[in-house]
Amino acid sequence: MKLTEAIRTTKHTIWWGLVLLWVARYVQGFLLHQLQDAPFVDVEADNFFWLWHGLYFVQWSIHNYWLAVGLDIGWLVLAIIGMAGKNRWWSKFLFVLIFINYFVCYNSVATHHEHTLIGFLFLLPLLVIKKPTNFVLSFASLRYYVLFAMSSAGIWKLSRGGAFVSGQMSEILKRQHIDYLISYPDNTYTHFIQFLINNIQIADIIWWTALSIELFFLIGFLTKRLDGLLGYLFLLFFVGDYLIMDINFIEFCIFAIVFFPPPGIWKRYDELRHDELRHDELRSESGDSSYEKPSEDLNTDIAQA
Amino acid sequence: MKKGYWRILYSHNKWLLGVVLAFVLGQAFFIYKGVETTPFFNYGMYSEVANSKTYYTNLELHKDGKLVPLEELSYFSSHFLAYQICYHQKMLDRDSIDGTIATIEQRFGKESSLTQYLTPLLTTSPEKLNQFDNWIQSYTEIEDLQVTTKKYKYLPATKFVPYETN
């Protein structure tokens, strides 16, 4: 697959995801025009939220119904245009602003800053990058971010001590499901959760398996060869999260794209690496410390191609 | 992380290298501070030791004295509803004063003009508590719902039962 085609496919997937996200959010009643009456806002200690509220963007968006309708429709229309590959540079930037605004507004009125939209938030830059080499480098950076997100979750558990405590999972399940267990004492899911709570060893096995999966992502910093496995583990982790913890992180799963990219992207990345190695060799062969790389602009070459 | 990644960034896009380095430094700073600021997120959920409790508190909705399960209340998300109920209770526990007010005053001074400007934009006013009853009624389409805090204990190896202090 050619690089330009690989980039187009990746962008297309993200735009598709954004359309599906819009539909999912609409069904759940989470679009801006559906959140107009929400009574509370909670900015927590997030400085960016403070800035966005301070600039009145949230006030305008959640207290002006027709503006909210316009922003919601804008999201859908621009994403559909993006899918068709017809977006201009300004419409992509407009979309980024609309999405960031949504991210802040939703989390503020939810009064709980969820991590579920972070996947789309971090992938937004890929939609506006034009030069193929810059796209590939940004994609590689995002892959490292996903590795960081997953492995740091395991490291937090190690550093705060939760990883080493037997019964931790059983206790977490009690807190996570208390409302459901009380509301539906005879439900099959209730029996399943109570089984895990009451059988601490089994709950511990699940806990340590999840922790091991999180820490396994550290290996991705050393090699890309296991990316396929990491991608499946990434998805498996969030399926388990949903089944056992009732935490729906399906939106975060867009990040799986970094483990299953179209082949042309890593091919180009490897070319860049080999290019660096080749110049190192030439430098050492010439024995000239003042050796400089040829000033060929690979970005331009690729773009022209 | 391979050394090659930094080399390639340095050779091909110093601007992106700067962005990545700034991000890494920012992320390290916010991990150290233990707080989040978009786009520096911490993934430390469920990492703290969760010890067994004598009793567990549950915020519930009741109608005519009977428990109304959150899952059945709305076509929309029960989680979103739960967030609102928790926040409502948090406000009540603080005598209707939003905790963010103290943070704003701490950052910018009690009487500063910036504090006066930001407070209504960043916080929930006490009057909004009255709005909550109307909101929950329209969200769930059920009248006269009451938010109740109940305590439960977990009988070893069985299930939750109401916690009685005596």
Q: List pLDDT tens digits, range A78-102.
A: 999 999 988 888 999 999 999 999 9
ipTM value of the model? 0.92
Number of helical H runs and strand E runs in chain B: 6, 4
Written as one letter, the residue type at A164 is F
Shortest distance, CA B142 to any CA of chain A (angstroms): 16
Contact (CB<8Å) A137/B45: no
Nearest residue in A to B1, CA atom: A221
Helix (H) or strand (E) holding B147: strand B146-154
Where residue A225 falls among pLDDT bands split at 50, 70, 90?
A: very high
**Cα separation, B53 vs B81, whole angstroms:** 25
Residue A66 has pLDDT above 70, yes or no: yes
Chain B residues in contact with A202 (beta carbon < 8 A): none
Q: List pLDDT tens digits, range B109-143.
A: 998 999 999 999 999 988 888 888 888 888 888 88
**Cα separation, B126 vs B105, whole angstroms:** 18
Contact (CB<8Å) A180/B86: no
**Cα separation, B76 vs B70, whole angstroms:** 10
Dihedral sign of CA atoms A66, A71, A74, A80 in order: negative
Contact (CB<8Å) B39/A48: yes
Chain A residues in contact with B45 (beta carbon < 8 A): 115, 153
Check CB contact of A110 with chain B, cutoff 8 Å. yes
Contact (CB<8Å) A197/B154: yes
Contact (CB<8Å) A54/B117: yes
What is the pLDDT of chain A when averaged over all its residues? 91
Chain B residues in contact with A41 (beta carbon < 8 A): 122-124
Four-point Cα dihedral B120, B126, B131, B137, nearest 10: 130
For residues B55-81, give the mean pLDDT. 84
Residue A273 has pLDDT above 80, yes or no: yes
Q: In what order do the strands lie in the sheet with B146-154?
A: B66-68, B56-63, B146-154, B160-162
pLDDT value of residue A91: 93
Contact (CB<8Å) A162/B49: yes
